[in-house]
A and B are shown apart, each in its own frame.
Chain A
Amino acid sequence: MSRMNKLALAAATAITVVGAAGAAHAEKIKIGITQNNVGVDSYQTTYEKAFIAAAAKNPDVETVVLDAGGDVARQIGQMQDLIQQKVDVIIIWPTDGKAVVPVVRKAHQAGIPVVVTNSNIAADGMDFIAAFSGPNNIQQGASAAELMCEALGNKGEIVQISGQPGYTTAIERQKGFEDQLAKSCPDVKILETQPGDWNREKAQRVMEAFLVKYNKIDGVYSGDDNMGVGALNAAKAANRAKDIKFVGATNFAVGYEAMERGEYYGSIYQSPVDDAEAALATAIAVKAGKQVPKLNYFETPKITKANMDKFTKPVF
C-alpha cells in the first residue's frame, strides 16, 4: 500500500514538474486539489470532471488534480507533496475534517492559502484556511422547511427521516429544517424523527413503523431524496401516499422522477458542477488577493414540479 502511495506521489510530482517547465514564462496560477474519494459516488465523479473542464477553459490556470481515495493518510501525504511543489493555492475536500487540520496548518505556515471545498474542516482549523466553498446544509434544511410549509398550507403533522447519525451533513440538514419550520409555520408539528442512514431500504423500514404508529401523517421530510423515495415506497404499499407530501433536502434522480409523476412534492437542487466551479473561482479570487468571505456558499435552489423543467435530472 505505502509503495503504491509513493508511486502515485512520484507520478503526480513528475507530471506537474513537466507542466510547470512548459509554462514557466507565463504568469499562471498553479492550483493543487486533493479530493476525498472520486468514483465512490457519482457526485464526486461529476465534480472532478467539472473541475478539470472549468480549469481547462481558463488559460491562466494550471492544475494538479489528486484524489485521496477516501484515505486520510494518503490525503495528508498529498498535501505535503503539494506544499513541497510550492503550488499557489491548495483546494482540499477533507476525507476527515479533524485529521487534516495539522497539515492544513502546515500549508498555512508555508504561506500557501488553503481553500476547503464541499465539506468544511473542524472548527479548530478555521484559522488556517483562506476560505470555504460549498453547499450550505443548514440553508438546504431551511429551504426544505419552507417547501413543507407551502405543501401543507402551514398546518399538519409530519415525520422526519434524517441521515446517518453523527454526520455533520445530517445534523445540519436536520437543524436547518427544524429551526426554519418553527419560524415559518409553527402549526406544522414534527411527530417523530428517526435516522434512515442515507439508505433507502432502512428509510422504508422506518416509514413502515411510522405508518403503523400514526394514523395521520401529512408530510415526510427526508435528509435526501434517496431516503424520501424509500418512505414513498412504504406509503404507497400502505395506500396512504396520496395523503402525504414528501419533501427532501437534496434532489436525487429518483426524487426527480417521482416529482415528474406527481408523487413527490419538492426538494433542494445541489449541483456538483456548481460546487466544482465555485471552488475554482474561490481559489482564483484568493490568489488574486481579493477580499473573499470565509464561508462561500453556492446557490442550492428549491425544486418542485412547477419549476423542474429548468433543472437537468441529477446524475446521482
Chain B
Amino acid sequence: MDKAATDGWSVRQILAQQGILIAFVLAMLVFGLFSDRFLAFDNIMAVLRQTGIVGVMAIGVTIVVIGGNLDLSVGSMLSMATVLVVDLHDRIGPGPAILIMFCAVLAAGAINGVLVGYLRLNSLIVTLGMLSALQGITLIYTDGKNVDIANQSDTWFAIFGRGDIAGIPTPIVMFFGVAVLGHVLLTRMPFGRKVYATGGNPRTAVYSGIRRGRIVFLTYLISAFTVGCSALILGSRVMGSQNNVGQGYELLVLSAVILGGTSLLGGSGNILKTVIGVLILGFIQNGLLLLGFPYYAQWLVTWVVIILTVWLDVASKRHSLWSPIA
C-alpha cells in the first residue's frame, strides 16, 4: 500500500485509484464542448448500443487476461458465431440456431482451454492459431457468401440488437449485466480468487492446491460464452453477417482491457475498469465521427487519446507525471 492509500478517502486516493475514470470524464467533456450533439441523449444511447458488442467480449477476455493468458481468437470466433446464428435462423428457427451457435463457440473455447490449460501451450500461439482456423471454417461454411435473415420484422431474434428490456436497449442491459456478473464472479467467489492467484503466480497457486489447468480452461469457456452473447447482439443488430465481420475485434477488445488497467502479465485487473475502457474507445470513435475528422486522422487521434489516458492513469498512481527513475 502506498502512502496515499493509508490517508483514508482523500482526494489524492480517489485520484490515484480512478485515473481512468477521470480520463473518461475529461474526454466526454472535451468532445461535448466541440460538438453539441455529442452529449445528446439519443447519441449516448446509440453509442452504448454500439459498444455492447465489444463490451460483452471484453468482460470475458479480461477474465482470461487476469488468469495470465491472452485470447486473440475472439474476433474470428465472433465472425463464426454471427454467421452461424444468422444462417441457421431461417433454416431451423432462432431458438435452435442460438443453441447450436453457443455449442460451437463453447467447443472452440474448450479447445483453447485444453491446449493452454492442460497442455500448457503458449496462449498467444494457441489463440492466434485458433483465429486462423475459425476464419477458415467460416469461409468454408459460407463459401464467401453473405448470410441474411429474410424476414427481419417478425422475429423475436430482433430483441438482442434492436429491442429493449424495461425501456433500456438490450445490448446495454447485456453489457452491464455481464459486467456485473463477471465482477461478482471475480471479487465475491472463490473462483475469482483462484483466477487472480493463477495469473499472479501460477507456481504458488498450484502449491496452494489450485487446479491451475482447470481454472485456465474455465476462463476460456467464459470468454467463448461472452463471444456468443456478442454474436447475438451483432447478428440481431445487422440481421445479416459476412465472414470477416469480426475481423480486428480482438485488438479492439484487447485495447479496452489494457486501457482498463488490466496487466497483460496476469494477476491484476478489474472488470468495472474494463467497462470504462470500452466506453472510452466507443465514445472516441463516435466523437471523432461527429466532429467530422478525416478517416486517417481518426486513427491518429485515437492513438493520442489512448496514450494520454494511459499516461494519466499511470501518473495518478505514482503521483507524478514523470517517472522518478526514468
Chain A interfacial positions (CB closer than 8 Å to B): 39-45, 165, 192, 194-195, 199-201, 204-206, 208-210, 212-213, 226, 229-230, 233, 237, 252-254, 257, 315-316
Is there an interface contact between B139 and A165, defined as CB atoms closer than 8 Å? no
CA distance A5 to B325 in the complex (A): 54
CA distance A44 to B289 in the complex (A): 34
On whether A316 and B146 interact (CB within 8 A), knowing A209-B290, A226-B242, the answer reads: yes
Hey, which chain B residues are within 8 Å of A43, CB to CB?
A: 144
* Residue on B nearest A191 in the bound complex, by CB: B292
Is there an interface contact between B239 and A42, defined as CB atoms closer than 8 Å? no
On whether A42 and B143 interact (CB within 8 A), knowing A165-B296, A194-B289, A230-B238, the answer reads: yes
Please provide the chain B residues from 111 to 144 with a CB less than 8 Å away from any CB of chain A in the complex. Answer: 139, 143-144
Is there an interface contact between B40 and A212, defined as CB atoms closer than 8 Å? yes
Q: Shortest beta-carbon distance, A286 to chain B, in Å?
A: 30
21 cross-chain CB contacts under 8 A: A39-B139, A42-B145, A45-B143, A165-B296, A192-B292, A194-B289, A194-B295, A199-B242, A200-B238, A200-B242, A201-B234, A208-B46, A209-B289, A210-B289, A212-B37, A213-B37, A233-B237, A233-B239, A253-B148, A254-B148, A315-B145
B: number of interface residues (CB 8 Å): 30
Is there an interface contact between A212 and B237, defined as CB atoms closer than 8 Å? no
Max chain A CB contacts within 10 Å: which of B143, B238, B244, B290? B238
CA distance A24 to B239 in the complex (A): 55
Query: Which of B40, B143, B148 sits near A39, CB closer than 8 Å?
Result: B143
Is there an interface contact between B146 and A212, defined as CB atoms closer than 8 Å? no
* Residue on B nearest A201 in the bound complex, by CB: B238
Hey, which chain B residues are within 8 Å of A205, CB to CB?
A: 50, 285
Please provide the chain B residues from 284 to 300 with a CB less than 8 Å away from any CB of chain A in the complex. Answer: 285-286, 289-290, 292, 295-296
Q: Shortest beta-carbon distance, A313 to chain B, in Å?
A: 12
CA distance A40 to B292 in the complex (A): 34
* Residue on B nearest A234 in the bound complex, by CB: B46
Max chain A CB contacts within 10 Å: which of B42, B43, B289? B289
Task: Judge if B12 is at the interface, Cβ distance under 8 Å.
Answer: no
Is there an interface contact between A212 and B295, defined as CB atoms closer than 8 Å? no
Q: Shortest beta-carbon distance, A48 to chain B, in Å?
A: 12
* Residue on B nearest A229 in the bound complex, by CB: B240
Task: Judge if B173 is at the interface, Cβ distance under 8 Å.
Answer: no
Is there an interface contact between B245 and A316, defined as CB atoms closer than 8 Å? no
Is there an interface contact between B290 and A44, defined as CB atoms closer than 8 Å? no
At the interface, is chain A mostly helix, strand, loop or mixed?
Answer: helix
B12-36 vs A, Cβ < 8 Å mask (1 yes, 0 no): 0000000000000000000000010
CA distance A254 to B162 in the complex (A): 19
Max chain B CB contacts within 10 Å: which of A44, A200, A229? A200
Hey, which chain B residues are within 8 Å of A252, CB to CB?
A: 146
Is there an interface contact between A316 and B289, defined as CB atoms closer than 8 Å? no
Is there an interface contact between B146 and A253, defined as CB atoms closer than 8 Å? yes
* Residue on A nearest B139 in the bound complex, by CB: A40
Is there an interface contact between B292 and A237, defined as CB atoms closer than 8 Å? no
On whether A254 and B296 interact (CB within 8 A), knowing A39-B139, A194-B289, the answer reads: no
CA distance A45 to B145 in the complex (A): 10
Is there an interface contact between A213 and B290, defined as CB atoms closer than 8 Å? yes
On whether A201 and B37 interact (CB within 8 A), knowing A40-B139, A209-B289, A233-B238, the answer reads: no
Q: Shortest beta-carbon distance, B220 to chain A, in Å?
A: 25
Is there an interface contact between B43 and A212, defined as CB atoms closer than 8 Å? yes
Max chain B CB contacts within 10 Å: which of A44, A205, A315, A316? A205
Is there an interface contact between A199 and B245, defined as CB atoms closer than 8 Å? yes
On whether A44 and B240 interact (CB within 8 A), knowing A201-B234, A201-B245, A213-B290, the answer reads: no
Please provide the chain B residues from 182 to 236 with a CB less than 8 Å away from any CB of chain A in the complex. Answer: 234
Max chain B CB contacts within 10 Å: which of A42, A194, A201, A253? A201
Hey, which chain A residues are within 8 Å of B145, CB to CB?
A: 41-42, 315-316
On whether A200 and B240 interact (CB within 8 A), knowing A40-B144, A192-B292, the answer reads: yes
Is there an interface contact between B144 and A45, defined as CB atoms closer than 8 Å? yes
Q: Shortest beta-carbon distance, A197 to chain B, in Å?
A: 9
Hey, which chain A residues are within 8 Å of B40, CB to CB?
A: 212
Hey, which chain B residues are within 8 Å of A201, CB to CB?
A: 234, 237-238, 245
Is there an interface contact between B295 and A42, defined as CB atoms closer than 8 Å? no
Hey, which chain A residues are within 8 Å of B244, CB to CB?
A: 199
Hey, which chain A residues are within 8 Å of B292, CB to CB?
A: 192, 213
Q: Shortest beta-carbon distance, B86 to chain A, in Å?
A: 11
CA distance A229 to B237 in the complex (A): 12
B237-269 vs A, Cβ < 8 Å mask (1 yes, 0 no): 111101011000000000000000000000000
A39-B143, A201-B237 known; 11 new pairs, CB 8 Å cut-off, are: A43-B144, A44-B144, A200-B242, A208-B50, A209-B289, A212-B37, A212-B290, A226-B242, A257-B150, A315-B145, A316-B144
